Amino acid sequence: MGNLLAMICGILLANGQPALDTNVGEEKIFGDVEKGIAVGSVAQFSEHLGPQVYLQLPESEGAHYSANQAFYVLDLFLRRHKIAGVKFTTFGTSESNPYATGNVAYIVKGVRLNAQVYVALARRGDRWVITHLSIY
């Protein structure tokens, strides 16, 4: 029993700090973003917004926003654009900046429009956060 505990502690600790697996959470974040956009709810993924998020959305200039500002900008976009569908189709794995891209369809004034969606993550402390979200 003592050897098992020592082995587990050895796996979990590196230089006195919990070991970080840089792949943990990426898929969940991308899934949360996809679901949130699909149902028009930023709240589904807002916990993953980084302290600074670059947003580029149709009908607006790209800009950096705080997490709180990004929440409201995205919320306004999703309220004005009825999402007809969203699907991430490509995932890029990187130790520093994983990303997902895909397609999104939305309706504005009765007209269905298709666009690309791009989300990039970066490590902040011990977790992944969204640093870039574009719909173009």
Q: Answer whether residue 4 is part of any domain.
A: no
Residue 95 pLDDT level (bands cut at 50, 70, 90):
confident
Q: Answer whether residue 17 is part of any domain.
A: no
Identify the domain containing residue 66 by its residue range: 22-135
pLDDT value of position 96 = 87
Q: Answer whether residue 3 is part of any domain.
A: no
- Give the global pTM: 0.80
Q: Answer whether residue 1 is part of any domain.
A: no
73-88 pLDDT, tens digit each: 999 999 999 999 999 9
Would you say 119 and 100 are in contact if contact means Cβ atoms under 8 Å apart?
yes
Domain count, the chain: 1
Burial bucket for residue 86 (CB in 10 Å: 0-12, 13-18, 19+)? buried
CATH no. for residue 122?
3.10.450.50
Q: Answer whether residue 102 is part of any domain.
A: yes
pLDDT value of position 94 = 82
Q: Answer whether residue 7 is part of any domain.
A: no
Q: Answer whether residue 15 is part of any domain.
A: no
